[in-house]
Structure 1
Amino acid sequence: MTRVSIVIPCFNDGAHLREAVESALAQDHDDCEVLVADDGSTDAATLRELDTLDELGVRVLCLDHAGVSSTRNSAIAAASGDHVLPLDADDRLAPAYAGEASRLLDADPAVGIVGAGTEFFGSDAGVIHPDVPRPEAWLVANQLPVSAMFRRADWTEAGGYAQDLRWGEDWHFWVKVVALGREVRVLPEIGLYYRRRPGQVTTHVPWDVQEATRARILQAGIPIVTRFPEDSTSIIASQLNQLQAVKERRSERLRSAALHTWRRRSGRPHL
């Protein structure tokens, strides 16, 4: 049986950390390691919660604040498992997720990523059951949340999570793993319970930040384009058309707003 390391970065999220840890400890896989990496938390409640984890048999890494990618990389580097399952500190895992995903990786050396269905809770509810993504689909959109299992060896070969990206570091990492030629599988069951919260960073990403990440995605995905040239160019062209349409609608809204403001301030009548 292959050891699984569940790695949980945490920054001032003690209010939800215990739920995440308990869901990791409740996995039915017989060889699971749970490792929490503290990203320099300053919140007193979070620090108190971190102090209680040792008695649960959870390893805690105390790090200087460096952001989620750096913290996740440090946790994986310190992990002892050959399979890695990341978990955010405010989410939860279904009990069978680690075992089912690990068995899929053990059964087929060609598989490099195993995801599952996601159920949302908190400020929003819903369920997503992703299809198995085609390799070229990763070039235009993220296909799985951060809580999917991969091999620690592939994390090393891919260079880990990019620590300079301000958004989409998990998407970028998945593209690098797929670019290695690894296949993706998706379990039909719910594996992740994803907490929705008002004002989450992922719902308010500036255009320039998105553009920077997408450029890196395409750069990392060049081996995918090389392997699937026709499918990749078609899907990228389709995405560019959609982005151009969005940009044109946005420009028209800005022009209309500017014209409305000018007329209001100048006293000109509306046409």
Structure 2
Amino acid sequence: MPQISVIVPCYNQAQYLPEALQSVLDQSFPDWECIIVNDGSPDNTEAVAHEWCDKDCRFKYLKKENGGLSSARNAGINMAEGEWILPLDADDKIGKEYISLALDAIKYSPDIGIIYADAFLFGEKEGKWNLPEYNYRDILKSNMIYCSAFYKKEDWTIIGGYDINLIHGWEDWEFWIHLLSTTQKEVLKLPYIGFYYRIKENSMIEFLKKDNNKRQKINVYVQKKHLDIYIKEFGTYQEVLSVNDWLISCNNALSHKVYRYENFMPIKILKVLHSSFKRIFDKKWFQ
């Protein structure tokens, strides 16, 4: 039985799939399986997958009707035999030591629930992906852990897998919130570039950047689903509104004080004098 199951869903990404699978094959740690999930893809995903399964028996193939990324991941993980899961989208890649370093960390930290690493962007944009450092309260506001992080299959089972209703993105963000709030486990970031995220014009992350309405809908959905967590961490809506009203009041009072200060006659005179002396000084300096 393998220790790690890498799950690679594919829909219309057959052109990138060999790069993703090669990055798995290149791993320095050999005890893995890789499940390629064909999510009803209309391209040649099946042919590419069979080619890699013939190349190495650690690659396995699963075909299903199209159901979206969450559905495809869930199907692959349900089939997985590994204790730990590593999702990998078909157009991305992982570093050669990623699995090895993650398993080393697991040996010494049994309370870890999620392991990820530094990341690099490639494709239409290249450079280190500068993600904010993980903090539980901060991840409730926005995600800083990409999809290709390690977690236990038993934790996936406990929370019921990825939410198949999130078909427009950020399903990994909701998954991390659900997992961390349910298991109370720790998060570890490896000081190693373990993940390579492909930037392309039709990337889901680029699509969401341009669609504010979709982003708002996903935010509302996630917050409603985990309303008890948000209330516990940030208070009720009434409490948040009260704090907001207090901040507005403080801002108004501060603005009033600033206005009075700037219009206080001695201050005006000092500003004029300062400006005059500065012009005289600058003129002498440059002569």
Band of TM-score, shorter chain: 0.7 to 0.9
Q: Find the counterpart in structure 2 of residue 154 from structure 1.
A: 155
- Check conservation: 1:136, 1:225, Cα contact below 8 A: no
Alignment of 1:238-257 (within 5 A): none
Residues 1:66 and 2:73 are matched in the alignment: no
Which secondary structure state, in structure 1, belongs to the residue aligned with residue 16 of structure 2?
helix
How far is the alpha carbon of 1:73 from its aligned partner? 0.5
Deviations 1:135-167 (A, max 9, x none): 111111111110011111111112211101122
How far is the alpha carbon of 1:2 from its aligned partner? 7.0
Q: Find the counterpart in structure 2 of residue 49 from structure 1.
A: 48
Which secondary structure state, in structure 1, belongs to the residue aligned with residue 47 of structure 2?
helix
In structure 2, the CA distance between the partners of 1:225 and 1:42, relative to structure 1 (3 Å rule), is: closer
How far is the alpha carbon of 1:189 from its aligned partner? 0.6
How far is the alpha carbon of 1:51 from its aligned partner? 2.3
- Check conservation: 1:27, 1:95, Cα contact below 8 A: yes
Which secondary structure state, in structure 2, belongs to the residue aligned with residue 116 of structure 1?
strand
Match of 1:199 among 175, 199, 202: 202
Q: Find the counterpart in structure 2 of residue 119 from structure 1.
A: 120
Distance in 2, matches of 1:151 and 1:171, equals 16
Which secondary structure state, in structure 1, belongs to the residue aligned with residue 15 of structure 2?
helix
Q: Name the amino acid aligned to 1:213.
A: I
Distance in 1, matches of 2:224 and 2:188, equals 24
Match of 2:176 among 170, 174, 177: 174
Runs of 4+ in 1 over 6 A off after TM superposition: none
Residues 1:186 and 2:189 are matched in the alignment: yes
Distance in 2, matches of 1:92 and 1:177, equals 24
Q: Find the counterpart in structure 2 of residue 249 from structure 1.
A: none
Q: Find the counterpart in structure 1 of residue 215 from structure 2.
A: 210
5+ long unaligned stretches in structure 1 = 242-271
Q: In terms of Rg, which structure is larger?
A: 2
How far is the alpha carbon of 1:120 from its aligned partner? 0.7
- Check conservation: 2:2, 2:81, Cα contact below 8 A: no
- Check conservation: 1:133, 1:143, Cα contact below 8 A: yes
Q: Find the counterpart in structure 2 of residue 14 from structure 1.
A: 14
Q: Name the amino acid aligned to 2:192.
A: E
In structure 2, the CA distance between the partners of 1:129 and 1:102, relative to structure 1 (3 Å rule), is: farther
Q: Find the counterpart in structure 2 of residue 260 from structure 1.
A: none
Deviations 1:26-68 (A, max 9, x none): 212231111110101111x333212212212210001111111
- Check conservation: 1:114, 1:148, Cα contact below 8 A: yes
Which secondary structure state, in structure 1, belongs to the residue aligned with residue 188 of structure 2?
strand
Q: How many residues align?
A: 234
- Check conservation: 1:9, 1:68, Cα contact below 8 A: yes
Which secondary structure state, in structure 2, belongs to the residue aligned with residue 208 of structure 1?
helix
The sequence identity of aligned pairs, in percent, is 29
Deviations 1:207-249 (A, max 9, x none): 332222212332454565466558xx99xx89xx9xxxxxxxx
In structure 2, the CA distance between the partners of 1:85 and 1:215, relative to structure 1 (3 Å rule), is: same
TM-score normalised according to structure 2 size: 0.75
Which secondary structure state, in structure 2, belongs to the residue aligned with residue 112 of structure 1?
strand
5+ long unaligned stretches in structure 2 = 248-287
CA RMSD of aligned residues (A): 2.4
Distance in 2, matches of 1:74 and 1:220, equals 22
TM-score normalised according to structure 1 size: 0.79
Q: Name the amino acid aligned to 2:197.
A: Y
